[in-house]
Amino acid sequence: METWKSLCLCLVMVEFVIGRAEGQLLQNFYGSTCPEIESIVKPTVSIKFGQTTTTVPATLRLFFHDCFVEGCDASVLIASPNGDAEKDSQDNLSLAGDGFDAVIKAKQAVETACPGVVSCTDILAIAARDVIVLAGGPSFSVELGRRDGLISKASRVAGNLPEPFFTLNQLNTMFAKNNLTQFDMIALSGAHTLGFSHCNRFANRLYSFSPSSTVDPSLDPNYAQQLKKTCPQNADPSAVADLDPVAPAIFDNVYYQNLVAGKASQPTVTDFANNPGNFNGAVITAMRKLGRVGVKTGSQGEIRRDCTAFNS
């Protein structure tokens, strides 16, 4: 019994140390320097959301794409006159401008109240939480204290973001590199209940899947036909399709219901499809873990005055 207690205590201490080492983020990081930070960001994001619901998936994708390249450090927000910044990579060209706009406007509002204090990275993390809530998803506290990165290169993006053709093993490997489990990956995939995808990203699954089957047999036949109507063969590169054809503007667990109905039977997917509370809890955990990926803290990086440009 004593050995078991000692082992449990040891595991608790290890978890505590790891938790402290993951960026040393705090929920009340700006308690004395910019205590109203969240109440400043929220109205700005809400206004943008009122203008277009695309703000929700756009901001979530921006957060994800930022964290998986160089860590969560707002490197994806940098604009380069030479077109060689992170946002200019082929994998990031589909990032919608509404996400960038929401964060940049929120930063401007924050700078007015607390100049030179709050990082663009933290503002993006808060905005990602806010759009989830605005779309009907769960609310949760956001850990803060990240600093903005000093590197943003298009050449460093390839191989760090999941591709639509990735197998489960490939996805698990990529997420594991960022300290995210398969469970986290499935939860974060729930963001696909919002927004859209460009037709050319999945056209092969409708028209040229394999020599023996032009349509991916794992797709629900009715859904495949619906996608073909939305995305005809050789569609315009700008053509898009809702990722969730049932409720594309609401943050809910319908994405998993669609998966179960069409092609999936994994226990986690089935659980999320049947239990929205479990899905919401998993999303909260996964979003917090995502927000800890490769963060810069302390004297690392900088606090950008303008989210689109390094200070020097």
Instruction: Report the binding-site residues for Ca(2+).
Output: 66, 69, 71, 73, 75, 86, 193, 244, 252
Amino acid at 34: C
Beta bridge partners of 242: 196
**The two three-digit tokens of residue 168, written as one number:** 């489960």
Binding-site annotation: residue ranges for substrate: 162
* Sign of the dihedral defined by the CA atoms of residues 108, 110, 115, 119, in that order: negative
Q: How far is CA 304 from CA 111, 249, 261, in A?
A: 10, 32, 46
Which residues have CB under 8 Å from 248's CB, separation 6+? 193, 194, 195, 196, 242
Are 22 and 99 in contact, with CB atoms under 8 Å apart?
no
Annotated active-site residue in 22, 49, 63, 65: 65
Residue by residue, DSSP assigns 111-167 as: HHHSTTTS-HHHHHHHHHHHHHHHTT-------B--BB-S---GGGTTTSS--TT--
Binding-site annotation: residue ranges for heme b: 192
Are 275 and 281 in contact, with CB atoms under 8 Å apart?
no
3-class DSSP state for residue 278?
helix
Amino acid at 177: K
Q: Is 300 exposed, middle or buried (0-12, 13-18, 19+ CB in 10 A)?
A: middle
* 198 included as an active-site residue: no
Binding-site annotation: residue ranges: 66, 69, 71, 73, 75, 86, 162, 192-193, 244, 252
Residues serving a catalytic function are 65
